[in-house]
Structure 1
């Protein structure tokens, strides 16, 4: 761009580079999504069409940014974990967050008709934030928190909507019935009153969805301890999972995840 006497205005831009050598998590959430679900008559307590649409949009984001190692989502939110050494956009927070949000939203809209047989009646939107984690253990705790939250919310919602739809209770009556209950109480309500074994509910509902990058079968590129080039990262396989990531076994079975995250 040619220099001009107006170029001084660039000095008003705020420096927003994220701290180096930290794990970046960009988390997006649906804005006003409750009204959006009502307007599009989503099934309760879970609408698999929307969840799979969210997953599709997340997969597109992961495919676009090769420095994303893992993504975790449930309901109307998704968290994208970047490798610690990423230098994309010089780690500028505004660029990273805005690009992820805009790509996710456009992918959600673009793929809507593949999952729903009704037109969009309002425009979906997602807000985003970047959070930095200083250690691998704190990053794991963040992901564990999100999956634990998924389980707690889904168990509550499954029981609440069973009381509402099958038990013919009002919102207030269902809320009063569940006040003060623990997990075991909700399991008992579902099974004794409605014949629902919560353990048999789809894993996507109970555990959310995980996307990871992994080496292709027989490829040990991540075990060599060297940083991968962009070309090598593109060769990694994107894997979709609905499993427990809180347990140590998830990470022990996938040692390449920590290796990639630390690059």
Structure 2
């Protein structure tokens, strides 16, 4: 029975590590529990009275919640591993009152100080197999801290790329270039560079799906509001006389279609054409997609 309880604890640890792996390091970032937490928080925020303020907090709050979930599951899982063998399989420092506490409390305490790599030493594993797995918990705690920092450093550059594209589209919207303005080598280069930026954002939504749940601020910096204008630019490029401009317009249209497919597949599930997906994307972020 003791080993069955310990196996349950090991299973909890593995569930947390699997979710961490799929959220941070898997090529397509198909997180399980973490994606569920973010989706639930996003949907709840959309129905709150102070919707705009609440939605702006979802991204950072969701990341903190997910990291806390990972840490809590690892701590509880390892505590369950220790629990059936406490206190007979452990040694206690002289004068320590830890052995007088309930076994579950001691197990939680040992798990917490181990995962935090504090190593206070008042409770130490005595049996050989426990002496092997206890340092593994410290390694997991160190990996969790490193992964959290790496996650933050990866997500915010992705948000920056998305907002840069949105602001660039907003500036172009204000300039309102017509087909005759785009019908030049400069126009072809402009459309091609926009296609490249759209592809980067598409990759970001694949690699950093949690970035979807970050609010972009006002319409000027919101891709959800401005992506419709990118479709308009692609149509103007396609109507140009120069073949290189038409090619660049087709590249931009293809990049936008690919972006719409990713948004629909992973977040929106409309099953419709790109125009419908972008409209749903704007609505989901509390915007109105720019159409020209």
Give TM-score, length-normalised by structure 1: 0.28
Q: Which has the higher strand share?
A: 1
Give TM-score, length-normalised by structure 2: 0.26
State the structure with more CA Rg. 2
Q: Which has the higher helix share?
A: 2
